[in-house]
Amino acid sequence: MRFMFIRRADPATEAGLPPAPGVFDAMEKYHQEMAAAGILLDGVGLKPSRHGARIAVQADAKHVKTDGPFAETKELIAGFTMVNVQSRDEAMAWAMKWPGLDAGAEVEVRAVYEEEDFAQWER
């Protein structure tokens, strides 16, 4: 089962400020531990929303683009980690190991749809 750990943005990440001392090393160690366990699929930080855009998808194919930055940091993502584990409990156990040096961070854990999940829906 694949899960995404979504690290929410905050004013510091949106400002493009470096993380607290030691966070880079702690995240690298955390990802190395997951890689050694054979569960890490990917893990990256995202640039502030001022470097991004949003596309509002419209049925008439006249999509609307809005360039960043975006005001609500609570709705933004600063980075993510993707893992492949045996259960939700295992995913939660790994998420609970998120480095404490990233104090104040909010990490959301979300399951990824797998192909077999779509069998229940008509195509």
CATH of residue 54's domain is 3.30.70.1060
Q: Stretch 14-20: mean pLDDT, rounded?
A: 93
Query: Average pLDDT in the 37-63 region?
Result: 95
Helix residue spans in the chain (DSSP H): 11-14, 23-36, 88-95
What span, in angstroms and rounded, lies between the C-alpha atoms of 118 and 115?
6
Q: Which two tokens stand for residue 41?
A: 């699929």
Can you give the pLDDT at residue 119? Answer: 86
Domain span holding position 87? 13-113
- Largest Cα–Cα distance in the chain? 50
For residue 21, being part of any structural domain is answered with yes
Residue 46, domain member (yes or no): yes
pTM of this structure: 0.90
* The pLDDT value given to residue 61: 83
1, part of any domain:
no
122 in a structural domain: no
Q: How confident is the model at residue 51 (pLDDT cuts 50, 70, 90)?
A: very high
- Mean pLDDT, to the nearest integer, of 105-122? 91
Average pLDDT score over the chain: 94
* 2 within a domain of the structure (yes/no): no
- Model confidence at 48: pLDDT above 90: yes
Number of domains in the chain: 1
| 119 within domain boundaries | no
In a domain, 104, yes or no: yes
